[in-house]
Chains A and B, each alone.
Chain A
Amino acid sequence: MPTPENTHPSPPPQIHLKRNARRRIRVPIHTPKRFYGFGIPGLDVNKLVGKLIVVEGADGSGRSTQLARLVEWLEGCGHATIQVGLKLSTLVSEELEKAKEGNVLSHTTMSLFYATDFADQLENIILPALRAGYMVLADRYIYTLMARDMARDMDEAWLRNLYGIALVPDTVFYLNVSAEQLVQRNFAKNQTLDYWESGMDLGLSRDWFDSFVKYQALMAAQFKRLQTSYGFTMVDGNRSPDAINADLRRKIEQLLIGK
């Protein structure tokens, strides 16, 4: 509350901006978007002005570290960001969790369940955010889902049609980390291997360590296969987080100026 002595309006405080803080915030250049296949009925892609940036890679490949840094950097540059991941939809995430615990679903069912989850997030989070001009950072996208299914012998053409609903991202990074590194990082974090990330449902080996290494190699092979048609930017994930992040930023900077 103002006291009687200082009711006179005082001059506004002088704002001293640091040189780089005064720099104008760059509005990203709009580049046309499209869907991989049939897309979402009735959706106008021309209204999607934000950018969709995807980071792919196995558990332990450093995805979350890289994404956290990208968010900080982008927000520092004045861009609104939003993060999305797999299995987070309000519609089916609970049921998916239950299904995974019981391990009772067939591959086609599991595949469609994940696709439902993806579609729910695509329509309710990703597309609205892109319409509003956000930088959408996706912690994995359809490629992980497709690679998992392909490792389980699902038909690739069937998967391509199914995921034809997906928007083509502005850029996709794949953090490529050797299986040996992944084992070490997973142990350093959890001291245990995850059932699904070890592909135990595939019966590759009764030994978890063995199965993990085999499954990760199988997944890497699927990603390589997908890379040829979907064209990810392969990033050497065996390096330091700083070195990796510098790579990602360089690529994203290009993207923001429409290249």
Chain B
Amino acid sequence: MKTFAELKFPGRLIAVEGLDGSGKSTQIYLLKRWLQLQGLKVFFSEWNSSELVKSATSKGKKRELLTPTTFSLIHATDFADRYERQLVPLLRAGYIVLCDRYAFTAFARDTVRGCPPAWVRAIYSFAAMPDLTFFFKADLEVSLQRILDSRPELKFFEAGMDLRLSRDPYESFRVFQGRILEQYLAMSREFNFLEMDANQAIEAQQSVVRELVASRLNLSAFASPSS
């Protein structure tokens, strides 16, 4: 599987991955601000955010209608919609596209839910690989604490309650997140994840992120025409 650079796209795609509560969204937000303030062409896209697909996903989640297969397919639909209508055109136009989660989220989650890994990967095979993937690796307890401190009400699928791991949503969430972390760690080398120590201070992590982006990308090539 090739990256956008290898496919000769003028744009570059940077993805962040990690558990809920690993701090990845904060880091990609700060990266976006830094790039924007330099007057570069930047676009940010979030997992599970396509307008059209969203209503079906939220209906499925609210009514707890989703099975591992439909959960996987509906997220793939959402991803395909964003990929083909936004990401690819912007990458063709020479943008730096930042993605909060990419196909690896599906690889990890759907596999934990029992979908065959080869099936999931083949479904996402229409998508090229990110040019850089940051993996925010925090201790499981740290991620859990961040989520549990701020948002005590866990949603059904978020807590992995569909897996019937435990009747207690908190216990279920712990086990579920632990299994996802195992999946991420197993994929790390295969997909060249840039592993970040997410137990560190926000600023310390952001300096590493910025350094890596500046060294891997020729940033001046992405200047916005208006600046």
A contacts, CB < 8 Å to B: 37-38, 40-42, 90-92, 94-95, 98-99, 104-109, 111-113, 115-116, 119-120, 123-124, 155, 158, 161-162, 164-165
- Note all chain A residues with C-beta closer than 8 A to B208: none
The smallest beta-carbon distance between B183 and chain A, in angstroms, is 15
Q: How large is the interface on B (under 10, 10 to 19, 20 to 34, 35 or more residues)?
A: 20 to 34
Per-residue CB proximity of B52-90 to A under 8 Å, as 1/0? Answer: 110110011000011111100110110011011100000
Assuming the contacts A41-B114, A112-B73, A161-B119, asked whether A98 and B68 have C-beta atoms less than 8 A apart, the reply is no
The reply to whether B70 and A116 form a contact with Cβ atoms under 8 Å apart is yes
- Note all chain A residues with C-beta closer than 8 A to B114: 41-42
The reply to whether B68 and A41 form a contact with Cβ atoms under 8 Å apart is yes
Task: Classify the secondary structure of A's interface with B.
Answer: helix
- 16 further contact pairs, Cβ within 8 A, besides A91-B65, A120-B70, A165-B69: A38-B119, A41-B68, A90-B65, A91-B60, A106-B81, A106-B84, A106-B85, A112-B76, A112-B123, A113-B53, A113-B77, A123-B70, A161-B119, A161-B123, A162-B123, A165-B119
- Note all chain A residues with C-beta closer than 8 A to B122: 158, 161-162
The reply to whether B119 and A104 form a contact with Cβ atoms under 8 Å apart is no
Q: Does B126 contact A (CB under 8 A)?
A: yes
The smallest beta-carbon distance between B145 and chain A, in angstroms, is 31
Chosen A-B contacts, 22 in total, with CB atoms closer than 8 Å, are A41-B69, A42-B114, A91-B60, A92-B56, A105-B52, A108-B83, A108-B84, A109-B80, A109-B84, A112-B123, A113-B53, A115-B77, A116-B77, A120-B65, A123-B69, A124-B65, A155-B126, A158-B123, A158-B126, A161-B123, A165-B69, A165-B119
Task: Report the Cα distance A165→B119, complex, angstroms.
Answer: 9
- Note all chain A residues with C-beta closer than 8 A to B115: 38, 41
Q: Does B201 contact A (CB under 8 A)?
A: no
Q: Which residue of B lies closest to A106 (CB)?
A: B84
Q: Does B204 contact A (CB under 8 A)?
A: no
Q: Which residue of A lies closest to B113 (CB)?
A: A41
The reply to whether A119 and B81 form a contact with Cβ atoms under 8 Å apart is no
CB within 8 A of A95: which of B53, B67, B80, B113?
A: B53
- Note all chain B residues with C-beta closer than 8 A to A158: 122-123, 125-126
Q: Which residue of B lies closest to A121 (CB)?
A: B70
The reply to whether B116 and A41 form a contact with Cβ atoms under 8 Å apart is yes
Q: Does B118 contact A (CB under 8 A)?
A: yes
Task: Report the Cα distance A13→B20, complex, angstroms.
Answer: 71
Assuming the contacts A106-B84, A161-B123, A164-B119, asked whether A91 and B70 have C-beta atoms less than 8 A apart, the reply is yes
The smallest beta-carbon distance between A126 and chain B, in angstroms, is 13
The reply to whether A104 and B52 form a contact with Cβ atoms under 8 Å apart is yes
